[in-house]
A and B are shown apart, each in its own frame.
Chain A
Amino acid sequence: EDQVTQSPEALRLQEGESSSLNCSYTVSGLRGLFWYRQDPGKGPEFLFTLYSAGEEKEKERLKATLTKKESFLHITAPKPEDSATYLCADLTTDSWGKLQFGAGTQVVVTP
């Protein structure tokens, strides 16, 4: 069964202290790997879609990378407004549209 695991569960960073979040997946037929940001009580906000190993995408202080079994979300020089829960999800080639989510990494950035 497809499983998505995120680590760490929680991360506390000082402003400007770069770090990486990990997302591992078990499925072999990957149609896409997705990163979302979620603020408390809100719906997930789309960040990136990655389709194949070696692909990288960037947006402001965030950079997502993909290998055959993992994806990383790098946060460079974070600011307090980057505080949120970051969710990753995969979509398999034999699925119509079921996103399989991890439990998320809660990031807190302090000034």
Chain B
Amino acid sequence: DAGVTQSPTHLIKTRGQQVTLRCSPKSGHDTVSWYQQALGQGPQFIFQYYEEEERQRGNFPDRFSGHQFPNYSSELNVNALLLGDSALYLCASSPRQAATQYFGPGTRLLVL
């Protein structure tokens, strides 16, 4: 049973560019959440998607947007990249009724 998968594993971009990160949830899960983790800190919640709609959003600017597809996979898009966007981006999935979220391996984004 495959767990949560994310792609790419690493990415290098320059300031002002745009990036798209992808996530496939664990089998049987229909809810996807995205988190940003800076070095030495705990993950910070960006948003959660269920039934292809954004259900809850954390304290992140509109430059961060997302999408969920009918097969429950999800994308995170970040526009006008800043140096401070450099972080590990984590995707987590869960069945809607359950509280526990399971994380993928993350995408390491470096903005130069």
Contacts and interface: CB of A to CB of B under 8 A. Distances in A.
Interface of A: 4, 31-32, 34, 36, 41-46, 49, 51, 87, 89, 91, 95-104
Contacts of A103: 40-42
Interface string B35-66: 10000111111001010000110100000000
B94 interface: yes
11 contacts: A34-B100, A42-B106, A44-B90, A46-B100, A46-B101, A49-B99, A96-B48, A97-B50, A98-B45, A99-B45, A103-B42
A98 B48 contact: yes
Interface residues of B, number: 29
A4 B92 CA distance: 19
A91 B99 CA distance: 8
Contact of A89 (B40, B42, B50, B105): B42
B33 A97 contact: yes
B25 interface: no
Contacts of B90: 43-44
A56 B80 CA distance: 46
Contacts of B31: 97
Contacts, number: 70
- Secondary structure of the B contact surface, majority rule: strand
Interface in B63-112: 88, 90, 92, 94, 99-106, 108
A46 B41 CA distance: 17
Contacts of A99: 33, 35, 43, 45, 92, 101
Contact of A97 (B40, B44, B55, B102): B55
Nearest to B107: A43
CB-based closest 8 A-B pairs: A101-B42, A43-B103, A96-B56, A32-B99, A97-B48, A98-B45, A96-B55, A44-B103
Given A41-B108, A98-B48, A46 B102 contact: yes
Nearest to A87: B42
Contacts of A46: 100-103
A91 B45 CA distance: 11
